[in-house]
Amino acid sequence: MFLLNESLVFPDPSEAGEEGLLAVGGDLSSDRLLLAYQSGIFPWYDDLQPILWWSPDPRMVLFPSKFKVSKSLSKTIKSKKFSITFNTNFSEVIKNCSTIKRGGQAGTWITQEMNEAYIQLHHLGHAQSVEVWQQDELVGGLYGINLPKQKIFCGESMFSTQTDASKVGFYYLVRHLQQKEYNLIDCQMHTDHLESLGAEEITRLKFLQYLNS
């Protein structure tokens, strides 16, 4: 594991440990965060830890063409019970992602420091959000880092206060990225939920090849 300082540099992702931990320290400046995502690295830690940087192998990704729409999700989409916007309320989306309680989690990894850093990335045009509305109420959403040159969207987190709301937002994000001929959505690490939506694991080397192609 590498200890970062003020220098804007990361070790090669291949140096990560078995669980994917690559480095510790540094800061969450916009330049460092962008370099991290462009290098296949992301921060993930909590308030009781220093900044931890990860590059897991394998890597969970979703190829847009492989997104799975279940019968129930298809029915919800066709009902038009939700409306979708892009980048209209990033701060509320990340706030909800950090405060909504999830099963099996005692707290959140989206610290106040991370919240502020990603809002700054949004102001710079690099972090983007999808909002899901039911009438005038924000009931779901997601956010991530957009890498247009690499044709990759790095998904960070999603939330939902109504059944299927975040899935509907994800559906419209996938459709939007398909129209722009994006290669994949980076989902970082495996979860059963992501797998149910069509995400799959690829090697870190393969993921980095997409980043560098």
Instruction: Please write the tens of the pLDDT for every residue from 151-192.
Output: 999 999 999 999 999 999 999 999 999 999 999 999 999 999
Spatial separation of the C-alpha atoms in residues 56 and 205, rounded to whole Å: 10
Would you give the distance in Å from CA 154 to the centre of its chain? 5
| Domain shared by 34 and 69, yes or no | no
Residue 185: name the closest of 160, 213, 212, 150 by CA.
Answer: 150
pLDDT at position 108 is 58
| Domain shared by 69 and 96, yes or no | yes
| Domain shared by 173 and 111, yes or no | yes
Helices 165-179 and 71-79, packing angle to 10 deg: 80
Which structural domain, as residue segments, surrounds residue 166?
60-212
CA triple 131-132-135, angle to 5 deg: 120
| Domain shared by 40 and 130, yes or no | no
The CATH number of the domain holding residue 191 is 3.40.630.70
pLDDT at position 134 is 98
| Domain shared by 70 and 49, yes or no | no
| Domain shared by 14 and 117, yes or no | no
| Domain shared by 16 and 101, yes or no | no
The CATH number of the domain holding residue 20 is 3.30.70.3550
| Domain shared by 72 and 51, yes or no | no
| Domain shared by 149 and 95, yes or no | yes
| Domain shared by 126 and 159, yes or no | yes
| Domain shared by 71 and 39, yes or no | no
Statement: residue 104 has pLDDT above 90: no
* 92 band by pLDDT with thresholds 50, 70 and 90: very high
| Domain shared by 153 and 188, yes or no | yes
Domain count, the chain: 2
pLDDT at position 106 is 40
Statement: residue 83 has pLDDT above 50: yes
Tell me the torsion sign for CA atoms 62, 65, 66, 69: positive
